[in-house]
Amino acid sequence: MSTALKQLSQNKCFGGLVTKYVHQSAVLGCEMKFQVFIPHQQSSTTKFPGLYFLSGLTCTEDNFIQKAGAQRKAAQLGIALIAPDTSPRGLNIKGEDDSWDFGTGAGFYVNATESKWKNYQMYSYVTQELPKLVNENLPIDPSRISISGHSMGGHGALICALKNPTLYKSVSAFAPISNPTDCPWGIKAFTGYLGASNKHLWEQYDASILLGKYDGPVLDVLVEVGDKDQWLEEQLKVHKLTDKKNEKVKLEVRWQEGYDHSYFFIQSFVEDHIAFHAKHLQ
């Protein structure tokens, strides 16, 4: 079981509160931090719909909350925001800090099967342990949850929704790594965490493959991509999503002229994404 939440900081923001918490994760075997924005509460019994946001490579629980500018729209629409970290930290695994795209800050939202990386269970943390902890301790309505993410986190948001048909009301992604089984970032991560020969496991975490196989309730998916994204062709491969047809996945990919991979891009369209999710969460 996860231990109780410990508050690390709290700031008022657009009438609500941004709070950073830390807890001991049983799934990951280390302390984990996450940020939450709770809109202004009219009563002690108010429960808000929740939007989880998964960040990208090198990020922490701070990036989205501090850089995206999402709180104003979330406060206006009465949506809570939950932003977890991107990997376990401080496990003292040899090589965990050797590169920026693997190990610390790069958990890739998979459940590692290679023994060295056995604590890297970010998929279970994001879909099971953290939501249980949030639902038990914070004014979040567990029946009204959506998910979003950026880059590696966009990959994470897509696979979490496609693998859990009844868990999320909607999913969106900014510049997602869409075909990780066939891009350098994904191949490096999947080789390390899942093993070079376990390609059948790789496919279980590839959004472009999961989309074609999805057989749950109709799922609304919004993907935002900048046509000047420096990682577009080599790493993101968003076209692999649009190549797949599935009548149960309502996929909208919006191409934005001149935008790159940065948080300036996210800032520009994050309110659109919160409004998109609000339609499904209210």
Q: Classify 66 as helix, strand or coil.
A: helix
Which of 151, 170, 178, 208 is catalytic? The answer is 151
Contact 44, 12 (CB under 8 A): no
Q: Classify 85 as helix, strand or coil.
A: coil
Contact 70, 81 (CB under 8 A): yes
261 included as an active-site residue: yes
Q: Classify 204 as helix, strand or coil.
A: helix
Which of 23, 155, 261, 273 is catalytic? The answer is 261
Other Cβ atoms closer than 10 A to 199: 11
Which of 25, 146, 229, 277 is catalytic? The answer is 229
151 included as an active-site residue: yes
Strand partners, 220: 250
Contact 35, 65 (CB under 8 A): yes
280 included as an active-site residue: no
d(CA 265, CA 282): 26
List active site positions. Answer: 151, 229, 261
